[in-house]
Amino acid sequence: MTKICTKCKEDLPIKSFGKHKLRKDGLQSVCKNCKSKIDKIYCALHKEKKLNYDKKRRGNEAQHEKDKRNIRRRKLYTINPSSRKKSNKKWKRNNPDKVMLQAQRRRARIKNAKGTFNSNEWKYIKNLFKYRCAYCAYKKKLTVDHVIPLSKNGDHNIKNIVPACINCNSQKHSNIIGWPIFTNKRYIIEFYRQTFDDAKRMAIAFSSGVS
């Protein structure tokens, strides 16, 4: 079977036409080659409009996929809740940093804090400080500490975050203090102040995209 293209007026095979469910024959009125040329001309004339449309469509598709995943997860949880709880506990045990960052994101959202902070930035910050606490300089289990606390309108981003051990983080609490503190511990004040300044300078450069 063949069909005449309304654009080039050529009699072409059916396979040369795209599908169109609203037309009687279920095919577009122009062939695929002509449709491609028309689309290219339209995109060239309406470039910004096309970019906005593509961006919106990608966002809608991403949200649709997210909704589908959530529905699937809820269904699995309903079918076998004990298995899902066990799986969640295992994931939390194997990913303590991600669990901590999730909790910090929730805190930041509740406090309406500006900025974002992800796991890659956390790894980068810990590496800058040689996996040591920013206060006592010991190698311990590290937690996220906001230099200016979220309770005092501090931002939740790499410029306002340092690694701190649980003890030092608890002692600092919601205070805004000078650097460094707890100097009766391992490092002398002059050495550690320089280490901190260099690390913060590199962290700010990293956040701004400066190499």
What CATH number is given to the structural domain containing 117?
3.30.40
Q: What is the pTM of this model?
A: 0.52
Distance of CA 74 to the CA centre of its chain: 23
DSSP 161-184: EEEEEHHHHHHHTT----SS--TT
My answer on whether 84 and 127 are in the same domain is no
Contact 23, 13 (CB under 8 A): no
Within a domain: 170: yes
Token reading at 38: 């028309």
My answer on whether 8 and 74 are in the same domain is no
My answer on whether 114 and 139 are in the same domain is yes
Within a domain: 168: yes
| Predicted pLDDT at 180 | 47
| Predicted pLDDT at 142 | 92
Buried/exposed code over 64-97 (b: 16+ C-beta within 10 A; e: otherwise)? eeeeeeeeeeeeeeeeeeeeeeeeeeeeeeeeee
Q: How far apart are CA 134 and CA 210, in angstroms?
A: 23
- From first to last of its 211 residues, the chain has per-residue pLDDT tens of 888 999 898 898 988 998 888 888 889 899 999 999 988 888 888 888 888 888 888 778 888 888 888 888 888 888 888 888 888 889 899 998 889 999 999 999 998 999 888 888 898 888 888 888 887 778 889 999 888 888 888 889 888 888 888 888 888 877 775 544 443 334 334 444 455 555 555 555 545 554 3
Within a domain: 52: no
My answer on whether 148 and 179 are in the same domain is yes
Phi, psi of 74 (to 5 degrees): -65, -40
| Predicted pLDDT at 34 | 92
Within a domain: 70: yes
